[in-house]
Amino acid sequence: MSKCLELSVVMPVRNEERYIGTVLQQLLNQSLDSEKYEILVVDGQSTDKTRKIVQAMQVENSNVQLLNNPDCLSSSARNVGSKHARGQFVLFVDGHCNIVHNDMLEIALEAFLKGERCVSRPQPLVAQQENSFSSAIVLARHSLIGHGARSMIYNNTAQHCSPLTAGCGYELGLYWELGGVDESFDAAEDLEFNYRVQEAGVDAYHSEKFSIEYIPRNSMSALFRQLYRYGYGRGRMTRKHPVTFSFLTSLLGVMGLFSILLPLIGLFSPAARLVLGWCFLPYLMITAIASLKVSGGQRPWSWLKVWSVFPAIHFGAGIGYIMGLVRGPAWSNSIVQKS
């Protein structure tokens, strides 16, 4: 198999028993000849049935390999997988997604063999039918103010673009030429790596054929934590690359911190509470209008639920960004944290 193996799919996972079997089967069902690709599942000390599921699938599929990631972080998993990769190209796929097209690997490999050094993909959210809150998250995140204006994660147009927001696959030589992923990152490690790809002058080939879908969080607290961690990673990225500083994200972080402190401030200074209240009014109006627009005239509770999602998105990412800048609490997902 190694003589014609060309593509390595790396899957950083930890405690993914609910989805890992389905995602692996979607990869195994791809139209690309199984001798041309391998699937490297890099496990960060899962405590559920993730490893058993992968091991069971290894028995009948020789191109599936289970690797250990003792540091548990997604960043270190990417490097572990890439170090073991036998293909000329590496494509990263999460253990909790849905692969839209069964010819994704075939078309990605074709792009690489034609000379592309990086590929980029749409990564839309798809709501769970039984969870109305996840539907509200999908509507909010798909709106213009729900994600970065230059983000490619909801763009389906085939084109060459910056790899920054949605780069997901690389020529292995390029990956190591840039030093691999920075393992000090616990979140947004892909964003920081893609920034270095961009600075190296490499464009990404973006195509809807590489799409993968994600299921949104099912509670406000889970959404806030997700965005906080992402924001923290972006703050850490700014410490490493000061030119990436975001004034808007910082402003949202300050607003988020003031919203938490507002009741306390009001106890000591009613005037300050009034001033801060008026400062928040434009934000509330903008998000209300956006909520009405994306809800498409649904019942009042629907757009109100979307409206409530925006502060979790904006203030979660903003507060996380500020904490990342000042080395505050990281809210790590891992049992292992790096300084």
- DSSP letters for 20-47: HHHHHHHHHT-SS-GGGEEEEEEE---S
Architecture of the 7-214 domain = Alpha-Beta Complex (3.90)
> pLDDT band for position 4 (50/70/90)?
confident
In sequence order, which residues have a C-beta less than 8 Å from that of residue 59 and are 6 or more positions away? none
User: Which of 104 and 270 is assigned the larger pLDDT?
Assistant: 104
pLDDT of residue 278: 76
Q: Given a cut of 50, is residue 336 above it in pLDDT?
A: no
**In the predicted structure, residue 268 carries a pLDDT above the cut 70:** no
More confident residue, 261 or 36: 36
What is residue 119's predicted lDDT score, i.e. its pLDDT? 98
- Distance from CA of residue 231 to its chain's centroid? 11
In the chain, ranges of CATH 3.90.550.10 domains: 7-214
Query: How far does the chain reach from its first CA to its final CA, in angstroms?
Result: 40
For the residues 273-285, what does the mean pLDDT come to? 79
280 or 82: which carries more pLDDT confidence? Answer: 82
Would you tell me how many other CB atoms lie within 10 Å of the CB of residue 283? 17
Residue found under tokens 């999460």: 94
Q: How high does pLDDT run on average in the chain?
A: 91
Give this prediction's pTM: 0.92
Range scoring the smallest mean pLDDT among 24-38, 87-101, 183-197, 320-334 = 320-334
Residue 326's CB is within 10 A of a number of other CB atoms, namely 9
* pLDDT attached to residue 339: 37
Nearest Cα neighbor of 168 from 323, 45, 9 is 9
Which pLDDT score is estimated for 29? 98
Determine the residue type at 226.
Q
138-152, 170-184, 254-268: range with highest mean pLDDT = 170-184
pLDDT value at residue 279: 75
- The answer to whether 182 and 97 are in contact (CB under 8 A) is no
> Quick check: 8 pLDDT over 90?
yes
Q: What is the pLDDT of residue 236?
A: 97
Beta-bridge partner residues of 169? 91, 119
Q: 1 pLDDT band (50/70/90 cuts)?
A: very low
Give the model confidence (pLDDT) of 126-158 as tens digits: 987 666 788 899 999 988 898 876 789 999 999
- Structure confidence by residue, pLDDT tens digits, 39-76: 999 999 999 999 999 999 999 999 999 999 999 999 99
Is residue 269 pLDDT above 60, yes or no? yes
